[in-house]
Amino acid sequence: MCRQFFYKGIKGNANNFLTREMCQEQCHELNPCLNGEPLIDATGERMLCTGGQKLDSCPKSHYCHVGSTELTTICCPRSTIEICEQPLNKGAGGENLPRWYFDSDLNKCQQFIYGGTKGNENNFISRQTCEELCPEYRNYCPHGLPLLESKNTKPVTCGINKEYRNYCPHGLPLLESKNTKPVTCGINKGCPAGHICHMSAEYSVAICCEDPTDFCLQPRDPGPCQNMETRYGYHPLTDSCVPYQYGGCDGTLNNFKTLERCTEICCKEYKLMRDGIPTSP
């Protein structure tokens, strides 16, 4: 960066120019920004910054790129991509700076070594700052990912907000498209394969729910987490529900909080008796 100074007139060296333009022409300034040019002030000086991503001193159109020195810690243009969605960028240079970034695939902050220049905004000084700006969430869904209130925020809780209420006795309703209302059904409108038409007497609505014939035959999977608790799963060989230990996340839909609920939904013998159909000749 070319900077102004006062020369006393003698005993100087060749790094001494009459104008900024002459200095810049002879000594090309390093641009640490990935895209665009660093922000300059009214005098044409590059705007130095402090705070990194958390206490950013740059205007909203820019972010504070933190390099290894004051000269590379400047305001760079922001990307149109959400910070936490930006891919890992190790940058250029040989500074070997320990940094953190948010891995959107793993949904967690990971450490990496930054070269010192040409990185993106998904670049944090500490793990704490990374987790504050890109919060992690635990996935409690038996399969797939939870619906989020907005990008990189907490999952939507159900049973309170009618918009997200699950009318199915178990599993998830079929949606018209991602994150929209459930598919309804009736006498003249059936459900696609893998789903059945469920009538919710409590809410007077009929929607397409996952077919128990499919998920009752899934394995009783404890999942990868370690917060063990007793759940119940259907055992097809004995047509009965049995207890097993569930870790608290992932797993399959063959997972019920109570023996009664598992029996009602999966056991053939129980359903035949409930519907008044003889079970033996």
Tokens of 128: 């704490």
Mean pLDDT of 218-244: 92
User: 225 lies in a domain?
Assistant: yes
Beta-strand runs (E) in 236-271: 240-246
User: 13 lies in a domain?
Assistant: no
User: 119 lies in a domain?
Assistant: yes
Give the distance, in angstroms, between the CA of residue 267 and the centroid of all CA atoms in the same chain: 37
Q: Does residue 222 sit in the same domain as residue 129?
A: no
How many domains in the chain?
2
Q: At 21, give phi and psi (nearest 5°).
A: -60, -40
User: 259 lies in a domain?
Assistant: yes
Separation between Cα atoms, residue 89 and residue 92, nearest integer Å = 9
Could you say which of 100, 133, 166 is where a domain stops?
133
pTM for the model stands at 0.48
User: 235 lies in a domain?
Assistant: yes
Residue 232 predicted with pLDDT over 60: yes
Separation between Cα atoms, residue 5 and residue 278, nearest integer Å = 100
User: 280 lies in a domain?
Assistant: no
End-to-end CA distance of the chain: 94
Q: Does residue 126 sit in the same domain as residue 222?
A: no
User: 148 lies in a domain?
Assistant: no
Mean pLDDT of 215-229: 90
Q: Biggest alpha carbon distance in the chain?
A: 116
Q: Which range has the worst mean pLDDT, 14-23, 75-84, 131-140?
A: 131-140
Q: Can you give the CATH number for the domain in which 39 is found?
A: 4.10.410.10
Three-state secondary structure call for residue 125: coil
Structural domain that includes position 262: 215-274
